[in-house]
């Protein structure tokens, strides 16, 4: 009798698990294409444009390219990790790779998330999440020499708390927040982590000397601070939510305000001059997973989605506008979207494919 | 043996519940976007379910005041009307047009609409009509441009008009009618939906007699391609669009393809480049909530406008989402029609007002 009860319980749990897994994979969703204006591909980055960092004062964008993520073996990685520079004042649709000098390990430089800080002497300092071909992780600090148009290596930081770093946001000349998007170091381990729901990612604060956990046993993908540096936005991509937290720079701590459900997997963030949050998202998980599992196969692609999220004053609710949607044939697996030129133009980056540059010809303020 | 039967039954039940929940779109939502500036059109407040654009007159006819699956005639407190909207000006105001000599003025609740240009150049309208008791007919009306009125010509009733939804004219006195189901009550409709034993279909009326072209399916919006050789049928519950070859001489259809949309597309419009436009319901559970209590302003459901560009063999299509709204601005879109060389768009809804948009974004890419 007890055995039957246990068996029925197990059956119920199994059915529930399968059901939730199928919904998580978005088996009944699709993307309906639309664009906010004319869009064109940007020449230059072909093996990804995973994160983009805009320097407002210089009207340039840095694009990280050549990401290595959960590689099966180092010999699978046939592409080069690079950082591209794109001039936002011209419609050149061409980004140039910028030399990175004095790197410790040139061959093992595969950049992921980007952030920047303006030093006291007006120099732009870049903070870069880096993976090697063997998927070892570090944070690389580079200073941009605008006269010579090159990046100079300043420091490489490794730490055991950088478990599987994804994105980074600078909080000072030598301090930053890093997101871990999971704990597993292999594709198989990652699948297990996602299916079981026992996430090992989180958020780490590095104060220039030491690091500490601010969030654990979670998934944190894109992270960014509001323009006033008081609010932190965290993408919980697997839960399809955006977490909103107060950030206290003095105490180095966060406090949760709200969690916005999006029903789409939002990746990296950008906060515009009016404090709208922009995100590149993956609306159909099963197609994104297929594409990202084999990024070199050009017949595989994942849908792209650009959302602009506008928060209420109390940061507890948000209005969401979809700026672009694509089934993946034009822009595949979008990760970041950045408006510029007073919101009249936009660049969109992808995990493993080229970036695109669009005009925005429609109003995004609907309510 | 009994255990095997129970296991099979359990498996069927689990699979059935899962499919039903997916049909209700429990993990879907809309993300708002517009193709340009959009404004509401004054005039129709109790629906703008179908639109017929008469390009020769730069005029749109809009049906309003739909009564659908009515349980109690006293609940129908609104009036059925046909509005006219001048497409050459941006007045954002549609005028109700008088209908003269109707058999039953109080029982006129229009649904689908189609038009035909007669030999003398005048416009004839074909309108699917329900009464407050949910009796069905097709009303034929001639538009008198000088007096600015619609003159009733004829009312056609037929036992094959089981639950008519849309109509498409094939001549001065002939037309196709879609039946979107067989049940005449809400409960019956729910049973029909849940069991999948659909009783709708497609009927051709030749001016005297009617006969079935499609049976035991759901047919919502229907329309012809510009060359009148292809018929498009919205299978709303299956979330597909059926594409059929239409033979006017033999009065036959032959299936070409069935396009999966993963959204419930309603009525159709064909633009002058032969693109198919439709107003759709992307989240069924919210649509049912809104449509089940249409006079409750706190209930609304999502709107979606799709444009389909078919391949030359009509077997595949490119979809562009032109408009998407969570329902607070435009609730439950049913029809979308473009004009002004594709630079403007009208969006009609089942039970709410009409939306007029500019189109400032590229749709071909």
**Per-residue pLDDT averaged across A82-87, rounded?**
96
**What's the pLDDT tens digit per position in A31-47?**
999 999 989 899 899 98
> Within a 10 A sphere around the Cβ of A155, how many other Cβ atoms?
12
Is the CB of residue A128 less than 8 Å from the CB of residue A114? yes
Is the pLDDT score of B36 beyond 80?
yes
Ramachandran angles phi, psi of A121, nearest 5°: -85, 20
Residue A121, strand partner residues = none
What distance in Å separates residue B211's CA from the closest CA in chain A? 36
3-class secondary-structure state, position B93: strand
Q: Which residues of A touch B14 (CB under 8 A)?
A: 15
CATH number assigned to the domain comprising residue B82: 2.120.10.30
> DSSP class of residue A34?
B
In a domain, B150, yes or no: yes
Residue B84 belongs to domain spanning: 44-281
Residues in chain A with CB shorter than 8 Å from the CB of B304 are 32
Domain ranges of chain A: 31-359
pLDDT tens profile A186-236: 998 999 798 899 898 999 999 998 898 999 898 899 999 999 989 999 999
Mutation site for B-interface testing, chosen from A26, A29, A32 by largest number of B Cβ within 10 Å: A32
Mean pLDDT taken over chain B: 92
Within a domain: residue B302? Answer: no
- pLDDT given for residue B19 in this prediction: 80
Q: In whole angstroms, what is the distance from residue A315 CA to residue B126 CA?
A: 52
Which residue carries 């699948």 as its tokens?
A191
Residue A109's pLDDT is 96
Confidence of residue A24 (pLDDT cuts 50, 70, 90): confident
pLDDT of residue A142: 97
For residue B330, give the nearest of B30, B63, B68, B18 by alpha carbon.
B30
Query: Which CATH number, 2.120.10.30, 2.40.110.10, 3.40.50.11540, 2.60.40.10, labels domain A31-359?
Result: 2.120.10.30
**Complex ipTM:** 0.93
The label of the residue with tokens 């899962």 reads: B18
Q: How far apart are CA B364 and CA B52, in angstroms?
A: 25
For residue A19, what pLDDT band results from cuts at 50, 70 and 90?
A: confident
Helix/strand/coil for B126: strand
The predicted pLDDT at position A61 comes to 98
- Active-site option among A110, A112, A282, A291: A112
Does residue B3 contact residue B9 with C-beta atoms inside 8 Å? no
- The residues of B carrying an active-site annotation are 111
| Contact partners, residue A304, CB within 8 Å, separation at least 6 | A31, A280, A281, A282, A324, A325, A326, A328, A331, A332, A333, A334, A348, A350
A294-352 tens-digit pLDDT: 888 889 999 999 999 999 989 999 999 999 999 999 999 999 999 999 899 999 999 99
On whether B113 is known to bind a ligand per the annotation, the reply is yes
CA distance A345 to chain B (A): 13
pLDDT higher than 80, residue A92: yes
Interface of B with A in 3-62 (CB under 8 A): 14, 18, 22, 25-29, 31-37
- Is B216 inside any structural domain? yes
Please name the residue ranges forming H helices in A186-342.
Answer: 187-196, 285-292
pLDDT score at A76: 86
Residue of B nearest to A324 (CA): B33
Q: DSSP characters for A23-34?
A: HHTTTT----BB
Mean pLDDT, chain A, rounded, equals: 93
Q: pLDDT at residue B2 above 90?
A: no
Across the interface, whether the CB atoms of A320 and B322 are under 8 A apart is answered no
Distance from CA of A8 to the nearest CA of B (A): 12
Euclidean distance between CA atoms A364 and A367, whole angstroms: 9
Backbone angles phi and psi of B193, in degrees to 5: -65, -45
Could you report the per-residue pLDDT of B88-132, keeping only the tens digit for each? 989 998 989 999 988 788 899 999 999 999 989 999 999 999 999
- A366 and B304 within 8 Å at the Cβ level: the answer is no
Report the SS3 class of residue B211. strand
Give B283's pLDDT tier (boundaries 50, 70, 90).
very high
CB contact under 8 Å between A22 and B18, yes or no, is yes
Task: Please count the other Cβ atoms lying within 10 Å of the Cβ belonging to residue A218.
Answer: 19
User: Which tens digit of pLDDT belongs to each residue from B151-203?
Assistant: 999 899 998 999 999 999 999 999 999 999 999 998 899 999 888 989 899 99
Q: Which residue has the higher pLDDT, B14 or A278?
A: A278
Spatial contact of A160 and A178, defined as CB atoms under 8 Å apart: no
Could A362 and B33 be called an inter-chain contact, meaning their C-beta atoms sit closer than 8 Å? yes
**Does B358 map to a domain?**
no
Sign of CA dihedral A210, A213, A219, A221: negative
pLDDT value, residue A14: 87
Residue of B nearest to A284 (CA): B28
**What total number of domains does chain B contain?**
1
Specify the pLDDT at position A337: 98
pLDDT score of A219 = 87
pLDDT of residue A1 exceeding 80, the answer is: no
Beta-carbon contacts of B359 under 8 Å, excluding residues fewer than 6 positions away, are B35, B36, B322, B338, B342, B343, B344, B345
Residue B16 falls inside a structural domain: no
Tell me, yes or no, whether B236 lies in a domain. Answer: yes
Q: Is residue B191 part of a domain?
A: yes
Is-contact B197 B179, C-beta < 8 A? no
Average pLDDT over residues B286-314: 91
Asked if B213 and B203 touch (Cβ cutoff 8 Å), the reply is yes
């Amino acid at each position: 009798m007890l055995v039957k009860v246990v068996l029925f319980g197990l059956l119920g749990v199994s059915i529930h698990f399968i059901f939730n897994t199928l919904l998580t994979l978005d088996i009944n969703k699709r993307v309906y294409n639309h664009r906010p204006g004319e869009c064109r591909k940007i020449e230059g980055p072909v093996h990804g444009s995973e994160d983009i960092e805009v320097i407002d004062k210089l009207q340039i964008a840095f694009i990280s390219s050549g990401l290595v993520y959960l590689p099966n073996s180092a010999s699978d990685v046939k592409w080069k990790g690079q950082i591209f520079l794109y001039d936002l004042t011209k419609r050149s649709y061409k980004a140039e790779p910028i030399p990175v000098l004095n790197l410790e390990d040139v061959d093992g430089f595969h950049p992921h998330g980007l952030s920047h800080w303006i030093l006291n002497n007006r120099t732009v300092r870049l903070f870069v999440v880096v993976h090697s071909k063997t998927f070892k992780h570090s944070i690389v600090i580079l200073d941009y020499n605008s006269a010579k148009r090159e990046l100079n290596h300043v420091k490489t930081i490794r730490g055991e708390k950088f478990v599987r770093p994804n994105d980074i946001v600078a909080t000072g000349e030598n301090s930053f927040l890093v997101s871990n998007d999971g704990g597993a170091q292999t594709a198989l381990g990652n699948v297990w982590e996602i299916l079981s729901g026992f996430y090992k990612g989180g958020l780490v604060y590095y104060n220039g000397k030491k690091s500490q956990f601010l969030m654990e046993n979670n998934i944190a993908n894109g992270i960014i601070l509001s323009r006033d540096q008081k609010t932190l936005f965290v993408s919980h991509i697997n839960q399809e939510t955006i977490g909103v937290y107060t950030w206290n720079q003095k105490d180095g701590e966060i406090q949760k305000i709200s969690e916005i459900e999006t029903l789409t997997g939002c990746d990296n963030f950008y906060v515009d001059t009016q404090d709208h949050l922009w995100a590149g998202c993956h609306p159909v998980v099963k197609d994104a997973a297929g594409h990202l599992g084999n990024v070199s196969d050009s017949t595989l692609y994942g849908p792209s989605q650009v959302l602009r999220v506008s928060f209420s004053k109390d940061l507890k609710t948000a209005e969401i506008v979809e700026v672009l949607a694509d089934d993946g044939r034009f822009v595949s697996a979008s990760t970041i979207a950045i408006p510029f030129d007073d919101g009249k133009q936009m660049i969109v980056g992808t995990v493993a494919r080229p970036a695109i540059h669009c005009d925005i010809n429609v109003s995004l303020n609907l309510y | 043996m009994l255990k095997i039967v129970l296991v099979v039954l359990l498996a069927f039940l689990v699979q059935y519940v899962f499919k039903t929940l997916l049909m209700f779109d429990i993990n879907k939502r809309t993300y708002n976007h517009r193709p340009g500036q959009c404004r509401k059109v004054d005039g129709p407040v109790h629906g703008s379910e179908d639109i017929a654009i008469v390009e020769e007159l730069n005029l749109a006819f809009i049906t309003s005041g739909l009564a659908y699956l009515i349980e109690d005639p006293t609940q129908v407190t609104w009036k059925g009307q046909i509005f006219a909207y001048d497409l050459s000006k941006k007045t954002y105001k549609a005028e109700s047009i008088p209908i003269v000599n109707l058999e039953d003025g109080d029982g006129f609740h229009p649904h689908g609409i189609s038009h035909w240009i007669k030999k003398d150049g005048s416009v004839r309208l074909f309108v699917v009509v329900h009464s407050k008791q949910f009796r069905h007919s097709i009303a034929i009306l001639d538009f008198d441009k000088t007096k600015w009125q619609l003159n009733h010509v004829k009312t056609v009733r037929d036992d094959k008009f089981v639950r008519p939804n849309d109509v498409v004219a094939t001549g001065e006195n002939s037309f196709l009618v879609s039946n979107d189901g067989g049940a005449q009550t809400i409960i019956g409709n729910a049973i029909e939906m849940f069991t999948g034993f659909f009783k709708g279909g497609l009927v051709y009326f030749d001016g005297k007699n009617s006969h079935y072209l499609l049976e035991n399916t759901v047919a919502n919006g229907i329309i012809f391609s510009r060359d009148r050789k292809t018929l498009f049928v919205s299978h709303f519950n299956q979330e597909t669009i059926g594409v059929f070859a239409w033979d006017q001489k033999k009065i036959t259809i032959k299936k070409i393809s069935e396009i999966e949309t993963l959204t419930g597309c309603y009525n159709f419009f064909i633009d002058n480049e032969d693109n198919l436009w439709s107003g759709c319901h992307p989240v069924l559970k919210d649509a049912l909530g809104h449509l089940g209590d249409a006079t409750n302003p706190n209930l609304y459901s999502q709107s979606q406008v799709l444009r389909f560009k078919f391949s030359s063999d009509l077997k595949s299509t490119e979809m562009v989402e032109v408009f998407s709204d969570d329902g607070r601005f435009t609730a439950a879109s049913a029809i979308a029609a473009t004009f002004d060389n594709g630079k403007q768009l009208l969006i009609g809804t089942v039970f709410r007002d009409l939306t007029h948009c500019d189109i400032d974004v590229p749709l071909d890419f």
